Amino acid sequence: MLFNLDMIKERYARIPERVEKARKLLGRPLTLAEKILYSHLIDGAENQVYERGKSFAEFHPDRVAMQDATAQMALLQFTTAGKSKVALPSSVHCDHLITAKNGKEEDLPKALEENKEVYGFLSSVAAKYGIDFWKPGAGIIHQVVLENYAFPGGMMIGTDSHTVNAGGLGMLAIGVGGADAVDAMVGLPWELKYPKLIGIHLKGKLTGFASPKDVILKVARLLTVKGGTNAICEYFGEGTRELSATGKASIANMGAEVGATCSTFSYDATMERYLRATGREAVADEANKIADCLRADPEVEAEPEKYFDKVIEIDLSTLKPYYNGPFSPDRGFPISEMQESLKEFDSTHVVSAALIGSCTNSSYEDLSQVASLIKQALEKGLTPKAPLIINPGSEQVRYTAERDGFIDLFKQFGATIMTNACGPCIGMWARLGAEKKEKNSIVHSFNRNFAKRADGNPNTHAFVASPLMAVVAALSGSLLFDPEKDFLVNDKGEQVKLVPPSKDELPVKGFAVEDPGYVAPAEDGSKIQISVDPNSKRLQLLTPFKAWDGKNISGAPLLIKAKGKCTTDHISMAGPWLKFRGHLENISNNMLIGAVNAFNGQTNQVKGNDGQFYEVPALARKYRDAGTGSIVIGDENYGEGSSREHAAMEPRYLGVKAVIVKSFARIHETNLKKQGMLALTFTNPADYDKVREGDYFDINGLTHFAPGCHFTLVIHHADGTEDTAELSETYNQQQWDWFKAGSALNKIRSGN
C-alpha cells in the first residue's frame, strides 16, 4: 500500500541540497549513513561537524512506528502532552500480545477476547490522534513497515529495537523507548549520539545452503553483542546487490543484536523491485530521481578505510550456514564447529522443535524457500523428526503464500501455522511441557535466544539460524547434521541427500490480500473520548515522577548487584508479563527478577538490610516506602536487547536512585535518562568488585554537575569500612534537565 507520498516527495526535495552541503562541510565524499543523517538534522544543525560517538545531534525523523506492547506506555505518555494530533506520520501494530499455541484459528480469537481492553485503548487513541492502526493478525510490525512505510533515504524511529529491519530498504530506522517516540510525535527534535560508522563489505554471491541470515550471524560472531554500540553498520560492495530487499532486511534486523544504532544498504535494483511489487511504484519513481543521494559515494566503496571507523569484509561465496547460541545471539558457529559449540553448556544436539517466523525471517521469499525445501523432502519420502511451527510476517504474505500453495504444503509436512504475529519470538508460546523445565535444544529463525525467552524454560537451549536451516533441523532432528555433505534416511530406508532449494524473491503472480488489517484514523478525532478504568489490571494512567530534590544521594542501600548478562529481558521479562505493559504498578512486579545476584548466583533472591531475603521488586518497594530508595549495580553492556522502556520505568517507579554499571547498551541508557534516572558507569570497571552485599551508598557531586564531570561513589560496608569509586556520566545539559525535572515528559509538560 502507498502511504504519505507527499511527505516522501518533500523529503526527497530536500536531500540533494543537504547532501551537497555536507560534502562541502566535511570536504570529502559521503557514506550513505552520513547522507541520511545530515538530511534529517534540524534546521541549522546541518552546518556543524559532529564527532562520531561523542557529539549529540538533533533530528526530525520521517515517521514513528509502535508495537502494541510498547505503544501502551508511549501513548499513555503522549495523551498527557496536550496535543490534538501527532506531528508526524505514526502507526500502531498489534503483534506482541497473541499467544501461539494451537494455530491461528484458535489463537487469534482468544487473543482478541483476552486483550480487548488494550486493543480498544490503542485503537481509540490512534483514531483520535491521527495514528494508523493495524489490527491483531495484520502482521508483525517490522514486516508491515517494510511492506508499506519504509523508503530509501528515510529516517524513522520505533518503539521496538528491531525497528532497524527497515534498513533493508535503505533507511536509517532506529529503535527507541516510548519517551523518545513521544518527543517526535509532539513535534520536538529527537536526540541521538552521533554514531560511529562500521563498514561491512560483502563480496561474492551466496551458494549452497547459506542465506542472508548467515551474514548477520557471522557479523554477530565477529562484533559480539556490544561491538556495534553507538555505531551504524553500513553494508556495501557487489555482494549487497546480490541480496534481495527482504534479505537485506533480515541482516539489518539483527544489527540490534550487536548493539548497532541501525544498519543500512545503498539503494539498488532489488529495492526498486520490492517497492514496485508492494504497490509503491510512485516511491520507486521518486527514489530513482535522486538515486545517487540514496547511495554511498563511489569513493567510499573504493577506499572504505578512509570513511569508516571499522571495516569488516565477508566473502559470501565461502559463507556456510551458522547456528548461533545458546543464550547469546553472538555465540556463532558454522555447522562444522557445532560439536565443539555444544560442549560449553552441555547442550544436546537433538532438536526438540524448529520455528520459522519473527520480524527477522517471515517474508514471502523466506516462505518460498522453505516451501521449496519441504516439497523436495516430501518428494524424497522424508518426514520431520521435530515439530515445525511457522508464523507468517503479515496477512499479505500469508494470503499470497496460501494462494501459491505454500500453506497446504506446510500442513502436509505437519507444520503448525500460527497467527501473523511475534508469538514464540517474544515469549508468547504456550509450549506444552515447558513447565517441566527439561533440558532441550530448539532451532529458530528469530533474532534473540536469551534464557527463558521463547518458552519460559531456563533449560531450553535456543539456536538462531536461517529458515532454511530450521527446516533442515526439523528433518534431521540434529544440530550436527550438515545438509551439504550428510544423508538422511527416507521412508523406504534409502539414503537421500538434500540439495539447495530454489526461492522466489517476489511472488511471480504479485502480492494479494483481501483484508490487510489496516484501519485509518478518524478524519476528526476531537470527539473521541479516551478513558481508562481505574480498577483495570491492564491499563493505568501515569502519575508524574517527582523532580530531583537538588541534593546528593546519601545512605541508599544496595538493591542488587547483577552479575553477567543482564538484558532488558532480565530487567523486565516479556512472555506472560506482556499483558501488564500498560500498567506500571503491575508490570513493576517483574523488575529484575531475571537478574543473577552476584552474591548467591540466584535470581530474584536478594538480601535486605534486615538480613532477610526478598524478591527484588518487594525489596525495592520496601526501600522506596522507607524513603531511602536503592541502588542497582550492573555488569558489562547492561540493558542490551529490547527497546522496552519498562526496564527503565520500573526501577524509577520502585524508587531506584541510580543504576551504576561497567557499561550500558545504547537504548537502555537513553531510556533511563528519559525517565529521570541516574545512569552512571564506573570510570574504572574493576571498581564493580568493591561492592559487597549489604552495602550503602552516597553519590557526591550531583549538585555541581557539568557535562563530562565525574561523581564520587562512597561505599559503606557492613563491617564499618568504606571504599570510594569514581563514576562517569554521559549527560548533556538537556538530559540533565530531564533528571532535574524528574523525567523528560515532565520537562515537556512544563513547557520549558
Active site residues: 95-96, 160, 448, 642, 644
Amino acid occupying residue 63: R
Helix (H) or strand (E) holding 298: helix 298-302
> 154 to each of 38, 62, 265, 426, 604, how far by Cα in Å?
11, 6, 12, 27, 43
Q: Which of 114, 158, 135 is nearest to 394 (CA)?
A: 135
Residues 6+ apart with CB under 8 A from 148: 1, 3, 278, 518
452 within 8 A of 428, measured Cβ to Cβ: no
Tally helices (H) and strands (E) across the chain: 24, 30
Q: Provide the Cα torsion 637, 642, 644, 648; round to 10°.
A: -10
Q: First CA to last CA across the chain, in angstroms?
A: 40
Beta-bridge partner residues of 191 = 58
Residue with grid cell 557529539, as numbered in its chain: 55
Burial class (CB in 10 A: 0-12, 13-18, 19+), 452: buried
Q: Which of 223, 230, 229, 161 is nearest to 195 (CA)?
A: 230
The bridge status of strand 388-390 relative to strand 416-417 is parallel
Judged by phi (left if over 0) then psi (alpha if -120 to 50, else beta), residue 189 lies in: beta
Residues 6+ apart with CB under 8 A from 219: 200, 233, 251, 254, 255, 258, 312, 314
Residue with grid cell 534516572, as numbered in its chain: 677
